[in-house]
């Protein structure tokens, strides 16, 4: 049972435009959400996070939006750059749990 779902396996975006990566979850006990970025032959690295008490968090070109009623979050990258080409994983954690549940990942390709 996939509790965190990223339904788009891949996304292709023109350099300079906005990239929007989506993530849905089913467990209403999740209260903290993170995005990780992974390059080939490297481990995932933390990108940005959001607590369930917020609906938006920004860090430079990256913004995460949370819609709790829809159990949906999205990552916006503006403007997209070639170095953003990577696999992006959405992850979630339930209150008090010390482990993360990850989605399937979305491969983002930024075209020059």
Partner 1 sequence: DVKVTQSSRYLVKRTGEKVFLECVQDMDHENMFWYRQDPGLGLRLIYFSYDVKMKEKGDIPEGYSVSREKKERFSLILESASTNQTSMYLCASSLGLPFEVYGYTFGSGTRLTVV
What is the closest distance, in whole angstroms, from the C-beta atom of residue 89 to partner 1 in the complex? Answer: 6
CB 8 within 8 A of CB 68: no
Beta bridge partners of 65: 56, 74
* Residue 93 makes contact with partner 1 by CB under 8 A: yes
* Residue 98 makes contact with partner 1 by CB under 8 A: yes
What is the closest distance, in whole angstroms, from the C-beta atom of residue 56 to partner 1 in the complex? Answer: 15
* Residue 25 makes contact with partner 1 by CB under 8 A: no
Beta 101-102 vs 106-111: how paired, if at all?
unpaired
51-70 residues near partner 1, rule: CB under 8 A:
51
Of 91 and 108, CB closest to partner 1: 91
Among 25, 30, 44, 77, binds partner 1 (CB under 8 A): 44
Residues at the site binding partner 1, with contacts judged by CB under 8 A: 4, 6, 9, 32, 34, 36, 41-46, 49, 51, 89, 91, 93, 96, 98-105
């Amino acid at each position: 049972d996939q509790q965190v779902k990223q339904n788009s396996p891949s996304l292709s975006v023109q350099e300079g435009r906005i990239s929007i990566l989506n993530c849905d979850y089913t467990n209403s006990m999740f209260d903290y959400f993170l995005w990780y970025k992974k390059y080939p032959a490297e481990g995932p690295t933390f990108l940005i996070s959001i607590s369930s008490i917020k609906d938006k968090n920004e860090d430079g070109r990256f913004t995460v939006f949370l819609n709790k009623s829809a159990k949906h979050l999205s990552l916006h990258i503006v403007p997209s750059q070639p170095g953003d080409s990577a696999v992006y994983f959405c992850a979630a954690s339930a209150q008090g749990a010390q482990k993360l549940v990850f989605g399937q990942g979305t491969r983002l390709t930024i075209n020059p």
